[in-house]
Each structure stands twice: as structure tokens, then as C-alpha cells.
Structure 1
Amino acid sequence: MGRKSILKNRKEKNQKVEQWTLAILPKLKTADLGELTMDDLALLMKKSKSTIYQYFTTKEEIFEYITQVRIDYLYTYKNQITEEILKLDYKCETLGRILMEGAKDVSSFFLRQLQEHYPTAWKIIEEFLCALLEDLKQFYTLGIENNIFKPISSELLVKLDEYFIRQLITDDNFFDQTEETLESIMRDYMFLKFEGLKK
């Protein structure tokens, strides 16, 4: 067990902190997050533990921060898409780009570990996915009403997305049986879906 951090005011996180925390994501693809210590995280970030404790109190706080920064980045894409959907000026590739950006440097094993060990960080992802699924439903409905897509049930389309996004992204057994990455599976899924929907 490492030493507990002493409760004190933390420094405000800046762009440098964002960079060195996000830089560990590729190193966590196969890591058991429940076993990681602050010493392990300091080593991965190439920072001293005292530097880390200037900004973070616990491991949970580190994972919440990493997750929030990534999700905030994805919200900028999602907000652009919402505007495009409402104007019916939408490219299907844009949505694929959101999901691929979200999956970059992340494995399904990492996401499952996050879900199991850091529920507050996972909740940030869940809230984003709920908002994204709502946008997708609106997108399908408008696309069908405006004769851009085939007349298919928008509820069914969203249910398929929900299953794909919520189940597959944490199914590391699936990825153990294929050479595909989470990012490439997202790209293929979006391609198949939208090519099939187009009139």
C-alpha cells in the first residue's frame, strides 16, 4: 500500500496535466485497473507521486479526470452533429468519426475495467452515450421523414446502436478472438449501417 495523500488544496489542472494524463491511455489497454497503485500511475505518467498529488487526491479522481477530458472532446463533435442533423446537412462519416475518436487509444478491456472498478468515471461515459443515442434517434427520424433513409423503424435502429455501443465496447472476449481494434470495429459498424440505410 502506498501512502495516502494528505488532504489539501489541489492545483488547478491545466493543458500540461491533460496531456500527461491522457498519454497513459495506450498503456492501460491491458492493465488491470483495480490492481494499479498511485506508484504505478506515477510511473506510467513519468511523474513523481508528489507531482501527481499536487493535482489529484485518489486514483478514482485520475480516472474520472481522464474520462471527463475525453468525453468533453467528444461533446464538441456531438454538438456539431446535432446542428447538422437539424439542418439536414449531415454526413454519416461524421458520426463514425465521433465513435472512432472515442475509441482511439482505448481497448474494450480498459472500458470493462473502468466499468468494474471506477463507476463514477463510467457514469460520465454512460451519460454521453445516452445523449448520443438520443441524437441518433432524432437523426434517423428526420432522415426517414425527409426520404434520405429507407423507411425503417427508428426505434429498432436506436436499439441496435444501444446494443452495439453498450455491449460490444466492453466485450473484451470478442476482441480476443479478432485482430480488429475497438476503433476499426466502430468504423466498420458505421459504414455497414449507413450504407444499408441510404436510399
Structure 2
Amino acid sequence: MKADSGDTTPGPRQDLKEKYLLKLLPVIKQRGFSHLRIDDIARYMDISKATFYKYFASKEEVIEQVVDMVVAYFYQAFTLLEDDSSTYLQRFQHIFGQAVLIASYLSDAFVSDLKQVFPALWERVKQVQQERQRQIQKFYQQGVAAGVFQPINPILLMLQNEMLLGSIMDPIFLMEHDQTLRALLYDYYELQKYQWLAPEARMKIDDAPIKEYIDKMAQKISLGMRLDGGPDLFRS
């Protein structure tokens, strides 16, 4: 077990809590949380049960703080989307990167448990998802008017991400189709470029940042979904 630092000041304390939560995330993403006991949670966090209770009052508090992390990521995503100091093409790439990370966090197992066990927490996630969808629709409509995006209903983009990204990240799907996660994410990004970008815009886009991001994400996801970089992994 890792030693407790003993630091209880608000900043370092919250940093430690987030560190412990990040260690638990791979398990929650892969298998949900309904089966977990406090002993299991402490073990995955690599701390003693006594240390667990120093930082968390209950299993319910752990799940609530995981949801807080997810919601905080959505709000960070809003900020990036509204940042008009970035070009439409840069924000298009941010949307793709955000969709990959959100699909990783909101796995079927986690969402299913959240809906059944903590419906009020699921409602928080659903509301912030809906707000993101509204912002993306507005952004794409502006991009169409600016001649950057093809005149396609942006709802299709969000539906496509929801339906495909989960399968792309499924190890069984990858094995059955003899594909690697990195290659499929690259190909999916290329598909979205050709679907959504006007030809002139497609010629101008710099793919280097998104390719670097895909490399990092594919490596982390393939090594057990342990996204140690946290929700700010794609921060500009």
C-alpha cells in the first residue's frame, strides 16, 4: 500500500482524492461499480481501508465525485468550444478529442449502474450532455455559415459518435475485426473530416495535434483504460 501523505490542507487533499479516483476509474469503466465493496474500492485505489475513510465517507460519495469529474470535463469542453480565439478547424478537432474521452468515461457498464443505482446523478450527466449537444449544434451551424462545414444536420454527428465510438473501443470488437484501436480512431477521424469539412477547409487542417492525441489515448486505453492524464488530457 502507498503511504498516506498526512497533508489535510484543501488543495493537496483534493489532489489526493482525485488521484485515488483516477486509479478506480479503469474498473468502473470496464465493469461498473454496483459490485464493488469498500474493501474492493480501497484495494483498487491502492490505499488502506482506514485511509479510504479519511478521504471518503462512503461508496456513494466516491461515485458522486466520479460524476463531479465527468461533469467538470463537460464544462471544460464547453469553454474550448466557445473559445473563438481558436479556429473552426481547431475546435472541430477538440470536439473529436472530447468525444473519444467522453466515450471512454461513459462506458455502458458505468452508465447502466448509474441509471439504476443513482438516477439523480445520471440526471446530472444527462443534462450536461444535452447542453453539450446544443452547443455543438450551434457551433456547426455557425461553421456552415462560414463555409467551413458541410451543410449536414449536426445531430447526425453526435449520434454517429455515440453509436460508433463505444464499439471502436471494445477489445472484443477490435479482435473480431483484426483492428487496432489506434488505426480505427485514425480512420474514424479521417471519416469525420471527409463528412463534415468543406473541401477547402479539409486542405487547410493540421492533423498533427489530433494524431498525437490519438496516439496517447490509444496507448492509455489499450493499457487498461487508465487515463492518468485526467479529463484535461486534450486541453490546448
Q: Is the 8 A contact 1:140 1:149 kept in 2?
A: yes
Cα distance in 2 for partners of 1:94, 1:71 equals 17
CA separation of 1:183/1:28 partners in 2, compared to 1, >3 Å: closer, same or farther? farther
Q: What is the aligned partner in structure 2 of residue 29 from structure 1?
A: 29
Bigger proportion of residues as helix: 2
The more displaced of 141-150 and 51-60 is: 51-60
Cα distance in 1 for partners of 2:83, 2:157 equals 20
CA deviation after TM superposition for structure 1 residue 43, in Å: 1.5
Give deviations 1:118-171, integer Å, cap 9, x for gaps.
Answer: 32332332122112101111112111112222223x3xx22x2453456667x7
Cα distance in 2 for partners of 1:185, 1:34 equals 31
CA separation of 1:176/1:73 partners in 2, compared to 1, >3 Å: closer, same or farther? closer
CA separation of 1:185/1:138 partners in 2, compared to 1, >3 Å: closer, same or farther? farther
Query: 141, 147, 163: which is aligned to 2:159?
Result: 163
CA deviation after TM superposition for structure 1 residue 178, in Å: 0.8
Tell me the TM-score normalized by structure 1.
0.72
Query: 3-state SS of the aligned residue for 2:173?
Result: coil
The more displaced of 14-23 and 110-119 is: 110-119
- State the one-letter code of the partner of 1:131: E
Could you list the runs of 5+ residues in structure 1 that have no partner in the other structure?
1-10
CA separation of 1:187/1:119 partners in 2, compared to 1, >3 Å: closer, same or farther? farther
Alignment length, in residue pairs? Answer: 183
The more displaced of 62-71 and 188-197 is: 188-197
Query: 173, 178, 181: which is aligned to 1:178?
Result: 173
Q: Is the 8 A contact 2:148 2:197 kept in 1?
A: yes
Q: Is the 8 A contact 1:42 1:48 kept in 2?
A: yes
Cα distance in 1 for partners of 2:151, 2:66 equals 40
Q: Is the 8 A contact 1:81 1:94 kept in 2?
A: yes
Give deviations 1:63-120, integer Å, cap 9, x for gaps.
Answer: 1101212331342233122123x87544221111112233446643233333333323
Q: Is the 8 A contact 2:99 2:161 kept in 1?
A: no
Q: What is the aligned partner in structure 1 of residue 14 from structure 2?
A: 14
Aligned-pair identity (%):
23
- State the one-letter code of the partner of 1:192: L
RMSD between superposed Cα atoms in Å:
3.5
Q: Which residues in structure 2 correspond to 1:31-110 (within 5 Å)?
A: 31-84=31-84, 89-91=88-90, 92-104=92-104, 107-110=107-110
CA separation of 1:32/1:147 partners in 2, compared to 1, >3 Å: closer, same or farther? closer
Cα distance in 2 for partners of 1:183, 1:101 equals 14
Cα distance in 2 for partners of 1:112, 1:183 equals 27
Tell me the TM-score normalized by structure 2.
0.62
Cα distance in 1 for partners of 2:173, 2:190 equals 19
CA separation of 1:122/1:187 partners in 2, compared to 1, >3 Å: closer, same or farther? farther
Q: Is the 8 A contact 2:74 2:129 kept in 1?
A: no
Give deviations 1:2-44, integer Å, cap 9, x for gaps.
Answer: xxxxxxxxx9551011111111111333335222111211121
